[in-house]
């Protein structure tokens, strides 16, 4: 009995449509799936409809990119149970997406100045929703500039890549205020990606609890047993919900399978039951 509370569709940088994603979740035998596209709500209505059609629970979500509180980096927060038409959140996403459009133009400029014959249109044609670096990676691959998606990130697009351009991000306080106001459940995504040791991670997590953080991603494709155990204990110690998901993106991350991650992932359905109990206790809809 397992679930997957972190997945991407063509509404952001995944390669399956929301319908295909939900269908795959059903075929995989999952009890529930959360659709959590980056900085967009676009895929949610279709995913919910597919959930009804295929008979599987779909939790409407999104993954927000935030500045870290000390401004030294970034962090991702998965928001679950986003209500229909969350005006405040949509306004924030509009601002983020406007920044993305400028950034995408900048990345094209940088790549072209480095001698690569890439066009904005070529990249944009690969995206159905928000355009992000994975679409650039696919275009670089098809232009023969790189031979793998990973190489595209390592050499060109990644944080140390030659054509890296930072992304416009929301400030944590503001983002959490919005998530609290709309009654979403907020989960710190892939905590290992913060690049902090466990002590520093815990310090940051405590700060985020002050903002309204509800839980952390304990089960994740890139977490080994030791990491899973450490985050599970951290969640228990701090009274946080435990969440988990694969971060499935389809063929741009071919080694990550929905619900199964790299093969060893198992996110117990029990976590979802606990989350619902928590929401009920707070008078929030499920």
**Rounded least distance, CB 165 to ligand AMP, Å:** 9
**Rounded least distance, CB 36 to Fe ion, Å:** 9
Per DSSP, 15 falls in state S
CB–CB of 168/106 below 8 Å? no
Question: Taking CB under 6 A as the rule, does residue 279 contact ligand AMP?
Answer: no
Question: Taking CB under 6 A as the rule, does residue 174 contact ligand AMP?
Answer: no
**Rounded least distance, CB 193 to Zn ion, Å:** 10
Count other C-beta atoms under 10 Å from residue 1's C-beta: 12
Is 115 buried (19+), middle (13-18) or exposed (0-12) by CB count in 10 A?
Answer: exposed
Question: Taking CB under 5 A as the rule, does residue 247 contact Zn ion?
Answer: yes
**Rounded least distance, CB 13 to ligand AMP, Å:** 5
**Rounded least distance, CB 145 to Zn ion, Å:** 25
Q: Which does 133 bind (CB under 5 to 8 A by kind): Zn ion, Fe ion, ligand AMP, none?
A: ligand AMP
Q: Please state, in angstroms and rounded to a whole number, the distance separating the CA atoms of residues 236 and 104.
A: 40
Q: What is the DSSP string of 121-190?
A: HHHHTT-SSS--HHHHHHHHHHTTS-SSHHHIIIIIISTTSTT--PPP-B-HHHHHHHHHHHT-EEEE--
**Nearest residue to the partner ligand AMP, using Cβ:** 132
3-class secondary structure, 273: helix
Residues 242-261 that bind ligand AMP (CB under 6 A): 249, 252-253
Residues 52-71 that bind Zn ion (CB under 5 A): 63
Question: Of 82-90, 145-153, 194-202, 215-223, which part binds ligand AMP (CB under 6 A)?
Answer: 145-153
Using CB under 5 A, list all residues that contact Zn ion.
63, 247
Using CB under 6 A, list all residues that contact ligand AMP.
13, 38, 132-134, 149-150, 153, 167, 249, 252-253
């Amino acid at each position: 009995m397992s679930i997957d509370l972190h997945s991407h569709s063509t509404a952001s940088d995944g390669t399956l449509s929301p319908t295909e994603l939900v269908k795959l979740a059903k075929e995989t035998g999952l009890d529930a799936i959360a659709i959590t596209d980056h900085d967009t709500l676009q895929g949610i209505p279709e995913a919910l409809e597919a959930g009804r059609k295929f008979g599987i629970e779909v939790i409407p979500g999104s993954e927000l990119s935030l500045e870290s509180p000390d401004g030294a980096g970034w962090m991702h927060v998965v928001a679950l149970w986003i209500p229909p038409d969350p005006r405040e959140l949509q306004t924030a996403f509009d601002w983020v997406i406007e920044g993305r459009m400028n950034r995408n133009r900048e990345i094209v400029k940088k790549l072209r100045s480095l001698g690569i014959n890439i066009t904005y249109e070529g990249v944009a044609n690969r995206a159905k929703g928000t355009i992000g670096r994975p679409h650039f990676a696919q275009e670089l691959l098809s232009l023969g500039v790189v031979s793998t998606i990973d190489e595209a990130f390592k050499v060109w697009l990644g944080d140390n890549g030659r054509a890296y351009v930072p992304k416009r991000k929301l400030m944590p306080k503001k983002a959490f205020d919005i998530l609290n106001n709309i009654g979403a459940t907020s989960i710190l995504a892939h905590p290992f990606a913060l690049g902090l040791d466990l002590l520093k991670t815990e310090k940051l997590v405590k700060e985020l609890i002050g903002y309204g953080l509800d839980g952390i991603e304990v089960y994740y494709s890139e977490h080994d047993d030791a990491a899973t155990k450490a985050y599970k204990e951290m969640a228990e110690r701090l009274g946080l919900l435990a969440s988990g998901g694969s971060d499935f993106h389809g063929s741009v991350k071919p080694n990550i399978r929905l619900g199964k991650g790299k093969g060893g992932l198992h996110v117990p359905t029990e976590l979802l039951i606990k989350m619902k109990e928590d929401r009920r206790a707070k008078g929030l809809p499920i």
